[in-house]
Chains A and B, each alone.
Chain A
């Protein structure tokens, strides 16, 4: 089975850098994804790591280390609009046809002025 753990809440100030961790226990997976969800809205895709290392997309970066069963989302130059919930997700082996993903419980990020 798959299990992903994230901190439930993180607070930071505008302009700061914040890292949201995701640790997992899974028998194997294709890649680690990150989604953002604003209060009352739908999740939107942010990034995907198929291989170990850092993927950068503007102010957001995502990292994966399969040997450490660990990944993180890094948000730089925080803005008030970054206040949202962030979910990590894995697509496990054995579900190629279905493309089913397992989501973490989510981390609520609060950005303060």
Chain B
């Protein structure tokens, strides 16, 4: 079944740790996105990719980095987590359709102590 997956779903870590949030999709989509969203607040685009080896920063400045080595995989890495990074991180993908419908993963809720 075509889908988009994120792991872990929940993560609690200490300040200064390096973490990688995983995102994979099985829909063959060329475009993928990372959003940051605080509870009850708007979505902020932090990274996007329109294909393998192509990544761009989004509208919201972020200390995270991303890579796109394979079409289906778009991991997000924080080299040194801080309490200000506490948030929900949503991964999404979209295909060639004119609607640009974005399919979202279940999200990773990150808490940095």
Contacts and interface: CB of A to CB of B under 8 A. Distances in A.
Interface of A: 30-31, 33, 35, 41-45, 48, 50, 85, 87, 91, 97-106, 108
Contacts of A42: 90, 104-107
B101 interface: yes
B61 interface: no
Interface residues of B, number: 25
30 contacts: A31-B98, A33-B99, A35-B102, A41-B106, A42-B90, A42-B104, A42-B105, A42-B106, A43-B90, A48-B99, A48-B100, A48-B101, A50-B98, A50-B99, A87-B42, A87-B43, A91-B100, A97-B50, A98-B31, A98-B48, A98-B50, A99-B31, A100-B48, A101-B45, A103-B43, A104-B42, A105-B41, A105-B42, A106-B42, A106-B43
A73 B6 CA distance: 29
List of 9 A-B pairs having minimum Cβ-Cβ separation, nearest first? A42-B104, A105-B42, A48-B99, A45-B101, A99-B31, A98-B50, A103-B43, A99-B100, A97-B50
Contacts of B45: 100-103
Please report whether the interface of chain B is mostly helix, strand, loop or mixed according to DSSP.
loop
B94 interface: yes
Contacts of A91: 100
Contacts of B106: 41-42
Contacts of B63: none
Contacts of A35: 102
B42 A103 contact: yes
Contacts of B33: 100
Interface in B32-64: 33, 40-43, 45, 48, 50, 56, 58-59
A98 B58 CA distance: 11
Contact of B50 (A87, A99, A101, A104): A99
